[in-house]
Structure 1
Amino acid sequence: MAVHGGGSGPASSWLASPCAFSPLPRRQCFASCARDGRVRVWDSDTGNLRREYAPSARLSAACCCVAWGPCRTNKEGPQRKKRKSEAGQHVEQSDLLALGTAAGTVLIYSTVKGDLHCTLDGGHSGVVNCIQWHPEHSLLYSGSEDTHIIEWDLQTGKPHKWKADRAAVTSLCISPDGMFLLSAGMTIKMWNLETKEVYRKFTGHSTMVTTLCFATNRPPDSNGLYFVSGAAHDRLLSVWQVRSDGKDKMSVVSFTLTDEPQHVDLQMSNSKEEAVRLAVVCKDGQLHLFEHFLNGPCKKPLSPACSVQMSSAGGKVEEDTPVPVPLLAASLCADKQNLILAYGNHLQPVIEKMPINTSERHTCLIRDLHTSLSLSVDTAVSKIKTPIVNDQKSKVLIPGLPGHQAPIKATPSQSEKRKQGSSSTEMSIEERLEQIELNVSGSKGWNKNAASSLQTDSFAVLLVQGLESKDQMILNKILQTKKEPLIKKTVARLPPSAVLPLVEELSRRLQGHPYGAILVVQWLKAVLTQHTSYLSTLPDLVSQLGMLYHMIESRVKLYHQLTRLHGKLYLLMTQVATSSNVPKAGELDHKAKLVYEEESSDEDEDSGAEGLHENDSDGWEEEEENEREMEVAEDGESHADIDVDDEDDMKDESKVNGDSDLEPENESEEE
């Protein structure tokens, strides 16, 4: 049985990204959380990407720890229905993956369905540092920065919380029989899970414990129960014995390492005649294999039986020095003869199976990573062929070596003392800060061109010093600059050796809040604009800029969706605003403003009278075009009283107005 310690590492160490292999009997998958906040599940046999999951709060609440659920039967577990549907094919397939976040929540992700199974929240008020599954029951244990441990019941979703220590809980481990729980901050405590009481206490580490693993499967009353612990900044793995008499204050065995442990895989000892086998991946990227019989104390620290280191070929020349490649995790196979390694980058690790060879104390495996690593991009990417340069004939110019001069030129307005001092000895940081303060105070007689040159010169030097010393105070003061010309000049004066550290620092800051990323984008744009020629010559450019590319791609995809939503909302808002500005129609006045009534005569004298009325109507229509309505009305009344004798005058008027003399009505009147 194998127990992982790498999945329960502390969240404070941002250099170590959480990763874990799926449990035995078959290491099917490898889960890793990269710095872009995405969780990727890789196939251990083929090395292909199976699943990729991006939590919604990955930018503000990154994933801090990962733990695979045990391979259960069809009777138990939250994946009960899924197990029944796949009982014939995938009985022992690992499915559930627990993810602890910086927001205090625990995400349960199903690798079979490719979707979030459930979210456990409302329990922790701090960062979740470690997660452990119960080997038999549907229970999950999590430890947090809030100094508490929570037992989650996955069937009901109810948490049971209790205080573990005064300090943060950084590591957890459950015994194989499921009766005891190990928790550690600065002090290691063994809890009885039935009563939730402390069974034993172990002290001896001076730093936070990051790794806990049970080494034997024996009852504690037989003096045969052992466990392994590792701490931050500690190059030793300590083995503790749980004694029945309680005299277990000191560790009984210690294993020596080259650096602090990051990932530990262990195969237990079921009897005294069986040795414990350990595979430890350190922070420096090396792997150490140990094999020891736990039958009592051992005074001497034990050295590894075999050490493995990965490297990539430096070139075609045999004399070239190999470039080290960090190991991410290692897993011991069930056959006890092979080993599965994951190395390279968390964005796209290389998974390889190799036989265990303890005849050689140190083994260096050389692999060609440039052909195996490639980013999966949706669109077509132009391939750039890197020219092969002979190192014997080429000359590398580095700041500080003879033959190289920094491109910083003093302006003519500066004094001779400043020129002599810059040529002989470089000014200290304190002197440069004083010069910047003088520039801010605005002294008389100070040339603006000289001030800007001195300021950019000082910013470049301070930036290099902050990147080398990783001083966050200096970096915060410089990277919060908003002036675009100052940023461009500072980046242009950087030496080539400081470009990659600056890109890594900007990539790390870009993962934070979007408001803080606005300033980082200006610096990143200036770096990519000024130093593109240098970056294109790097052979490992894919691995260096891969995280930045994936992070920008994930954010851009979200912006497209937000743009569509913004367009729809803008259309709705404009329609609402337009409808609100249209004046509403009030009540209509049903009374007419002007009424025209034509008086009809009761006496129909003859046909001439009828013709007269028709002529009158024609004349009224002509006058309506030239005169006002009131005159038309009066004229209409006067025409009503005209006698039949005035027909000749009316005929003359009709001729003047353009009426034809040949109308039938007029002809009848003449007759």
Structure 2
Amino acid sequence: MAADGGSSSPGLPCVFSPKSRQYLALCAQDGRLRIWNTDSRTLHQEYVPSAHLSATCTCIAWGPCRTVKEGPQRKKRKSEAGQPEEKADLLAMGTAAGTVLIYSTQKGALHCTLDGGHSSGVNGVQWHPHAALLYSGSDDTHIVEWDLQTGKTRCKWKADRAAVSSLCVSPDGKLLLSAGQTIKMWDLDTKEVYRRFTGHSTAVTTLCFATTRPPDGNGLYFLSGAAHDRLLSVWQVRDDGKDKNSVVSFTLTDEPQHVDLIASNSKEEAVRLAVVCKDGQLHLFEHFLNGPCKKPLTPSCTVQMSSTQDSPVPVPLLAAALRADSGTLQLAYGNHLQPVMERVEINTAERHICLTRDVKTSLSLSMDTAVSKVKTPIINSKSKVLVPGLPGHQAPVRGGSDGAEKRKKGADTKEMSIEERLGEIDLSTASGVKGAAGTPSLQTDNFAVLLVQGLESNDANILNKVFQTRKDMVIKKTVARLPLPAVLPLLEQITKRLQGHPFTAVLMVRWLKAVLMQHTSYLSSLPDLMTQLGVLYHMIESRVKMFHKLTKLHGKLYLLISQVAASNSSKTVTDVDHTAQLVYEEESSDEGEASGDEALPGDDDSDNWEEEEEMMEEKEEEEEEEDDDPDSKTEPKTNGEDDMEQEHESEEE
């Protein structure tokens, strides 16, 4: 028996119908429910909830197959009287507003709405395998048991201190698994805790029973997977209560996104498991659950898909379903808006398998008009449709020849393809915004809109146009107006461009600074921020290490350059101008001139100078004696004193 539970993983809800796997139910980001027929690969039904924009679908689960009586027409009842085949009909959808929608695929309309039970978003819904009951877990930490016959709450109880992230009902309908901070097993008759299991540090997103055996006899096993965890843990419900640790673990390449299994009915039967990871790979396991296994088990086979281009691009897998015959899988891959369904046979003897597909040619744009509930609006030739761009930018849509006539609901009506519809939109006749060559120009008045468009389409031209701005205020406002889901793609683009040309890196640093200043609170709330921004972290760390080395090298070069400049300047100063800049002259007299002449460096020594001076004094004395009276000869002592005084005076002069 395959697990019929829905997936409540952080990705978009996606699940195959039970038993026949004929339908694939998928909720897109716009809140629309699309049901695809896997046999004809066409869109079977599409349902738009009234609150699809404000309360998007968070989890879906197919109900058990049942016999449905269609319509009041007797012809249909007679034609189908001999076919009491059970089909998948009801589909439960949990919304972010706390309501649960029950959709009927046979009616093609909403069956009922279950509201009033939760005050916050619903994270998981599960059907009772036998009774007309439905269980839902919410962020308000409560579990609600719904009675589908009356559409009202039958029972409600508090399950955990944290939000209830996942639910699963046992095959016999007696036990219920819920995951919050811990995994709890509830007895549905008494609504009391039967067992507790701990072992995950993050929110549990996957819960599935792996065996159909009763809990007594140590034969009941279930598996769990958590967010940001690359393991699937298998737990054994033991009679002695010693079941605190997991007994088996399956290794994955990324967080589990979609899990499908065929449960084991006895010890001699192995459990078959198909796990689609967040990275788009499919892992197949086959294991006998007969006790603990210490070594983690690796996949018996890993399946990947790639395109057929010259440079292959990986194609992500969305969901996978196991068939009764071993080796056959039902795959859904490509885009959520229009997935490609395919039934393939896998040789599990090979460990790694890569399937190459051309997704573009595999897409089927036709719809099953016989049973489709999608209504196409009537296009009038005079109507005008607003096109994304500047306010007031209108583009008339040219309707067909029968545009004014009402479309008939017969089988002869042919749906127009998307290519034909796009061809009818004439943008060249739009009045208003046009480029120099007459072509419509992009909306350039809001950089935030352009940046989001460039990130979603990965258009290098738009991104270059936005990233070329150098105004800090424009960058700050653009980053502040970005929606939160676009922050991480913007950081990835900044990281790529930081590794490029240095001129581009200078511009990208401004954007990185603005992102870190505006969205630090959001980034800090991400649990796997280090793994998502590992490249940027290592690049910054390596450049900071190089910065210290460059700083030391810059200091040494600056020292050498300053010394060379100082030596060059000293060489240029060697040629000195010997002309005097200032001359000082002292007032001179005759005695000063005589004494100055005596002090010339070319004269004789000081001894010769005294002898000459004595000779000059003797001559003067003789001349004075001749001129004076003869009495002067009798006073030699006084004359001698006068001579001495004259000698001292000459010396003083």
Matches within 5 A, 1:83-482: 86=80, 88-89=82-83, 91-159=85-153, 160-315=155-310, 320=311, 322-373=312-363, 377=418, 380-382=421-423, 408=468, 453=471, 455-456=473-474, 470=488
Give distance in 2, aligned partners of 1:369 and 1:352: 11
CA contact under 8 A between 2:327 and 2:348: conserved in structure 1? no
* Inter-CA distance 273–82: structure 2 relative to 1 (3 Å threshold): farther
Deviations 1:138-197 (A, max 9, x none): 111111111111111111222111111111111111111111111111211111111111
Q: Which amino acid aligns with 1:224?
A: G
Give distance in 2, aligned partners of 1:406 and 1:181: 53
Q: Which sections of structure 1, spanning at least 5 residues, go unmatched?
A: 385-396, 411-452, 476-493, 503-671
Counterpart residue number, 2:557: none
Q: CA deviation at 1:19?
A: 0.8
Kindly tell me the number of residue pairs found equivalent between the two proteins: 409
Matches within 5 A, 1:493-508: none
Give yes or no for the alignment of 1:56 onto 2:55.
Answer: no
Q: Which amino acid aligns with 1:169?
A: V
Q: Which amino acid aligns with 1:202?
A: F
CA contact under 8 A between 2:113 and 2:151: conserved in structure 1? no
Q: Which amino acid aligns with 2:187?
A: N
Give distance in 2, aligned partners of 1:126 and 1:464: 26
Give distance in 1, aligned partners of 2:65 and 2:142: 27
CA contact under 8 A between 2:4 and 2:62: conserved in structure 1? no
* Inter-CA distance 130–468: structure 2 relative to 1 (3 Å threshold): closer
Q: CA deviation at 1:68?
A: 0.3
Deviations 1:374-413 (A, max 9, x none): 66549633399xxxxxxxxxxxx989xxxx9998488xxx
Matches within 5 A, 1:39-78: 39-73=33-67
Deviations 1:460-495 (A, max 9, x none): 78899998852999x9xxxxxxxxxxxxxxxxxx99
CA contact under 8 A between 2:182 and 2:200: conserved in structure 1? yes
Deviations 1:281-305 (A, max 9, x none): 0011100000000000000000000
Partner of 2:257: helix, strand, or coil?
strand
| % identical aligned pairs | 67
Q: CA deviation at 1:9?
A: 1.1
Partner of 2:216: helix, strand, or coil?
helix
Give yes or no for the alignment of 1:9 onto 2:8.
Answer: yes
CA contact under 8 A between 2:281 and 2:316: conserved in structure 1? yes
Partner of 2:171: helix, strand, or coil?
coil
* Inter-CA distance 232–87: structure 2 relative to 1 (3 Å threshold): farther
Q: CA deviation at 1:313?
A: 1.9
* Inter-CA distance 57–305: structure 2 relative to 1 (3 Å threshold): same
Q: Which amino acid aligns with 2:8?
A: G
* Inter-CA distance 147–351: structure 2 relative to 1 (3 Å threshold): same
CA contact under 8 A between 2:4 and 2:17: conserved in structure 1? no
Partner of 1:380: helix, strand, or coil?
helix
CA contact under 8 A between 2:7 and 2:258: conserved in structure 1? no
Q: Identify the range of structure 1 (83-92 vs 196-205) with the bigger mean alpha-carbon deviation.
A: 83-92
Q: Which amino acid aligns with 1:194?
A: D
* Inter-CA distance 363–472: structure 2 relative to 1 (3 Å threshold): closer
* Inter-CA distance 360–139: structure 2 relative to 1 (3 Å threshold): same
* Inter-CA distance 242–116: structure 2 relative to 1 (3 Å threshold): same
Q: CA deviation at 1:91?
A: 1.7
Q: CA deviation at 1:455?
A: 3.5
* Inter-CA distance 253–83: structure 2 relative to 1 (3 Å threshold): farther
Give distance in 2, aligned partners of 1:409 and 1:161: 56
CA contact under 8 A between 2:271 and 2:286: conserved in structure 1? yes
Q: Which amino acid aligns with 1:3?
A: A
Matches within 5 A, 1:496-575: none
Give distance in 1, aligned partners of 2:297 and 2:59: 29
Partner of 2:473: helix, strand, or coil?
helix
CA contact under 8 A between 1:266 and 1:332: conserved in structure 2? yes
Give distance in 1, aligned partners of 2:362 and 2:59: 27
CA contact under 8 A between 1:8 and 1:170: conserved in structure 2? no
CA contact under 8 A between 2:42 and 2:364: conserved in structure 1? no
CA contact under 8 A between 2:60 and 2:125: conserved in structure 1? yes
Question: Which is higher, the Rg of structure 1 or of structure 2?
Answer: 2
* Inter-CA distance 377–365: structure 2 relative to 1 (3 Å threshold): same
Counterpart residue number, 2:520: none
Give distance in 1, aligned partners of 2:169 and 2:469: 64
Deviations 1:16-49 (A, max 9, x none): 100110001x111000000011000001111111
Matches within 5 A, 1:507-656: none
CA contact under 8 A between 1:74 and 1:84: conserved in structure 2? no
TM-score, normalised to structure 2, is 0.58
Q: CA deviation at 1:84?
A: 7.6
Give distance in 2, aligned partners of 1:464 and 1:406: 13
* Inter-CA distance 409–262: structure 2 relative to 1 (3 Å threshold): closer
Deviations 1:246-293 (A, max 9, x none): 000000000000001010001011011100000000011100000000
Q: Identify the range of structure 1 (29-38 vs 367-376) with the bigger mean alpha-carbon deviation.
A: 367-376
Give distance in 2, aligned partners of 1:214 and 1:82: 42
TM-score, normalised to structure 1, is 0.56
Give distance in 2, aligned partners of 1:136 and 1:380: 47
Give distance in 2, aligned partners of 1:405 and 1:55: 39
Deviations 1:539-575 (A, max 9, x none): xxxxxxxxxxxxxxxxxxxxxxxxxxxxxxxxxxxxx
* Inter-CA distance 89–298: structure 2 relative to 1 (3 Å threshold): same
* Inter-CA distance 34–467: structure 2 relative to 1 (3 Å threshold): closer
Q: Which amino acid aligns with 1:381?
A: L
CA contact under 8 A between 1:4 and 1:213: conserved in structure 2? no
Deviations 1:579-612 (A, max 9, x none): xxxxxxxxxxxxxxxxxxxxxxxxxxxxxxxxxx
Q: Which amino acid aligns with 1:455?
A: M
Give distance in 2, aligned partners of 1:220 and 1:131: 23
Partner of 2:314: helix, strand, or coil?
strand
Partner of 1:99: helix, strand, or coil?
strand
Give distance in 1, aligned partners of 2:241 and 2:146: 30
CA contact under 8 A between 2:307 and 2:315: conserved in structure 1? yes
Q: Which sections of structure 2, spanning at least 5 residues, go unmatched?
A: 366-416, 426-458, 494-506, 516-653
Give distance in 2, aligned partners of 1:332 and 1:308: 14
Give distance in 1, aligned partners of 2:279 and 2:130: 36
